Amino acid sequence: MSGIVGSGHNIRGSGVIAKLGTDGQVFTSAGAGVSATFEDAAGGGFTQTSAIATTSGTNHTFTSIPSGTNIIYLLLNDVSINNNDDDFLITIGDSGGLETSGYNEFNGRINAGGLNTWTKQTAAWHISVKAIAYGVSGFCQIVRGDANGLIWHFSAMSTINLTGAGEDGSCAFSSFSTGVKTLSAELDRVDIKGDAGSTFDRGSMTLLYI
């Protein structure tokens, strides 16, 4: 009867006794001559926040991002603002608050005719929308620049759908953005808002981090 996990019998006649674990645990060996045991499985997956409805308000902030986070995704689902000729602004911050300067960034839009428009910004990272009530679906990626540093790299790709078309509607153009920002302390928050105080009026968003 040797080799039966959790049976109380020897494993392969080694004299090492296996013990029962609990639901979700994995059977782990610590090496020759040491009792094998059940342990909690190691973590490693992304944490996802609850979705935020972007149907009102001038900005939305995700807070309490834990120290040691290295990769963050801000996911946009048909998010719209009510001002024409406007952008989405993404800022990050630490315990001292959101930072509104020192962003090195390039953003633009592409349609069937090629590069439609582009800008350079320093007050925030941008998603170029430039049309009232267009729905933005896509993601922003924020990645730590080195293992223990405070440098954060940014990239974003989004589809901009025609007014009222929804997330599966006709795509008017695509928006792209890249940039970098150095904080003075550990990142713990990410914020998105419309330029010039515009108001969100459709869609939702969520945050993934690891």
Give 4-48 pLDDT, tens digit per residue.
Answer: 444 444 445 555 555 566 765 776 776 777 777 777 655 568 999
Residue with tokens 């025609």: 162
pTM comes to 0.76
Give 73-109 pLDDT, tens digit per residue.
Answer: 999 999 988 876 678 999 999 999 999 999 999 988 8
Residue 155 pLDDT class (50, 70, 90 cuts): very high
Give 36-63 pLDDT, tens digit per residue.
Answer: 777 765 556 899 999 999 999 999 999 9
Q: Is the pLDDT of residue 165 over 70?
A: no
Q: Where are the beta strands (DSSP E) in the chain?
A: 25-28, 37-40, 47-48, 52-53, 59-62, 71-81, 87-94, 97-98, 104-111, 114-121, 125-128, 135-144, 151-161, 171-182, 189-194, 200-209
Q: What is the pLDDT of residue 9?
A: 47
Residue with tokens 């620049």: 145
Q: Is the pLDDT of residue 129 over 50?
A: yes
Cα-based distances in Å from 55 to 129, 152, 178: 17, 29, 27
Q: What is the mean pLDDT of the chain?
A: 83
